Structure 1
């Protein structure tokens, strides 16, 4: 069954899976003992496949173990990715183009599957019901894993997150058509177990993306209802919901999507980056677990048409997430360093791969 456009648009990103799924200091903790969570895949990320207009930024993740977010580009039309290593708001090194699995229609996410503190790739194909984990060494492919069938029935999409606190990503399967989710514990590229599907939230929350919201070292699920502009947070304990949070209304007006998540105020809990592509706007909302703590101001994007906030991630190691913008048509990007919900310093405009492909 082909996933509907509304379902695809609603699916998570970032960050987006922010920095890595682990930390070189051990057990996924930073200097102050806090978990360093990967950025969740952004809800806008699945548009990578459907609009097919060259290179798109899909999310951020730490690919070179420097604890700063790097940028994942995906060219859905040619089924290839590129990882750009970042140093603050500047490009450190553009990685090579890497062809994806055979055939078209793949989606791609990033997280650390082998506990080497460097992000790897999770490929997902909802129409063929397949997933594959590819291990990375920085911006280069180290070892492609096998294609693995997902749960029974069509329409399942695989997303990465560490649900069992072993510093290696597991897989969250989401089926929007049937409102089901399932967590599969992973051992690097292979599933350890196929947990049974359980129901998702009632009423319109088509997709969730996995990210550690409360920094307990285990992924939770942030649900987005794009049609009604709502969020819900489920705190998870392994493969089961522990606390099902209330619906949280998004910014006023049409066109808003949750483009990414990250800790924007260094309080040890995840916050939400909202993006409005049509109006070129962004807003950061601070969360406290499952509850809204503070709604930040609506902020205009860079000067010019076509800019969209695509992902969130800490690019400068100040423990606060920053915002990655991309310009439609040109493929240009820029990184805005953030201080909480306000802009600290807009970075330079950087040309995308091959000028945008």
Structure 2
């Protein structure tokens, strides 16, 4: 099953309120990744399923639009969605949340499969140590701040390959090669006659933050950010400014879910990352670091504050009604 068909099928199932099928399939894909992980999640499937049902039942319209693959485009046109999202943004100042980045142009459209394939080739050129690519890599490394100076005695240095411990990280190279393999697979999975049409599901990145506004600002400034995502965005800017692309693809940022229980923090990030298929391996996005490993801040929030968040979810979201629908489905 291709990424496109999987996401399309999950979207259809969720619109028909079939939470359990989708949750089961997502968890079957995602949970094995954490069998030896330090991420704190229940060992039994039942409480994880319950948390995922709560997530889907309380999800705002912005979440649904993300699942459907239409969020950047619909947000530009749908005033109802914009109004609801304003409230989500207000709450996210005081409530932990899940955010996403989606690669799209100024009209909210994703790159085509062929455009994504060209981005892939640019990533491979960036990784290449041969002298012919040094100048290109330096251009890419200076698309965004901070500026990067390539020493004359080591022209193989790259901004997005350097870490605190090594100037050219083997781990980062391996991850970017995995990203390129995923893009190649997605290109092959796209029928040839559709490779010049915008992809239905934009490449994305998903994360958790206690304050998503602050975290998204870090990402905008490429501070403690995702190097795969940052590199791709800089390549897209380069392709636009050099007239290789008629559109300027960039990362569109959205907060898609408000967490209202401390037990949701890790599970929400794991589930949303799987549901939105944002992993480098399958060409769906830029996530390469296991979800749920940077969520300790949820434990710092007091019980009364969590109670207020849950009360808000029950009063303002579709949580109560959607849970009733789920119970009726089980009883039937």
With the length of structure 1 as denominator, give the TM-score of the two structures. 0.22
Instruction: Answer with 1 or 2: which has the greater Rg.
Output: 2
With the length of structure 2 as denominator, give the TM-score of the two structures. 0.24
Q: Which structure shows the higher strand fraction?
A: 1
Which fold has the larger relative contact order, with Cα–Cα distance below 8 Å and residues 6 or more apart in sequence?
2
Q: Which structure shows the higher helix fraction?
A: 2
